[in-house]
Structure 1
């Protein structure tokens, strides 16, 4: 049985008080860091000056799967590979937000967006890009292109 390649990440979320006149709170994914066990296991607040706050959420697992190889390929060939972070806000307390998952698959991020989830992206560091490229090179095989005959060359009953 083959082991699923994975790594651990920590997500840094920034919260801004009243970023505009229509919102009480604004959030953005500030960074995604490799988590090598130095950040602990529990989320924590790093700073809060009343206007800007930063929260670190460690321990998110990013796994690579063969059936997502096309999504990894699309991420890598986009020109600027990224982490995709799906995050949520609390309905009970709109000042709270947290990351639910981190992925490297363009297709998976698209499915999450289609499901009306919040997905932001952050640039991927060179070492993770190289790791993802090696996996994609080993597991992604593009489907062969098939020439489609123009309808005008088909028999009328087959159009």
Structure 2
């Protein structure tokens, strides 16, 4: 009997999206906009169990933490239990995230035409990642991607994974200039003779 496959390192997080009024000239065409408000760590890596067969992310409204300048009309919606897994073959993507000025979570979200709020589509998170490569692919595909700083406990966990798995590509050795073929100004090979001339000028 074969042994069960080893589960990938993972944590669970909750995603909070904020719906806020649009101000200025843009409000003539768009009354509201959605932005990523927060990614909250739900479990420690050691306490994260195997992936469930089906993940439900039913949102519910939450009361925001009041901050200076916050808009009283804004509403916050929490989408629970997103699983963030680490893959060995994407170690470089995590390495690039760690070495950015602000290591972060990226959240790929879409406007759901079937889930409406006041008659308008709700912003629904699809995937949460710590991979720089994942975020780049989504942005290249013109998807909506927002980011929020990762807490120190997540950065430390990610660094431990990268230290154990990331193998930088070896740099190719540069060929010394002395090995480069000589060419003339027309790009034709130049032959250098090492024979020494004897005697005087030609014909003597």
TM-score relative to the length of structure 2: 0.67
Among 135, 149, 152, the residue aligned to 1:126: 152
Determine which structure has greater relative contact order: mean sequence separation of CA pairs < 8 Å that are 6+ residues apart, divided by chain length.
Answer: 1
Aligned residues: 154
Runs of 4+ in 1 over 6 A off after TM superposition: none
Root mean square deviation, CA, Å: 2.7
Query: Alpha carbons of 1:72 and 1:154: their partners in 2 closer, same or farther (altered >3 Å)?
Result: farther
Among 92, 98, 109, the residue aligned to 1:70: 92
Q: For residues 47-62 of structure 1, what are the structure 2 equivalents within 5 Å?
A: 47=63, 51-62=73-84
**Higher strand fraction (1 or 2):** 1
Task: Give the aligned partner of residue 12 of structure 1.
Answer: 16
Deviation at 1:95, TM superposition (A): 4.1
User: Deviations for 1:64-101, whole angstroms, at most 9, x for unmatched residues?
Assistant: 00011000000001121000110111246434111101
| Larger-gyration structure (1/2) | 2
- Structure 1 CA distance, aligned partners of 2:112 and 2:72? 19
Structure 1: stretches of 5+ with no match in the other structure: none
Preserved contact between residue 113 and residue 121 of structure 2 (Cα < 8 Å): no
Task: Give the aligned partner of residue 117 of structure 1.
Answer: 143
- Structure 2 CA distance, aligned partners of 1:57 and 1:132? 23
TM-score relative to the length of structure 1: 0.85
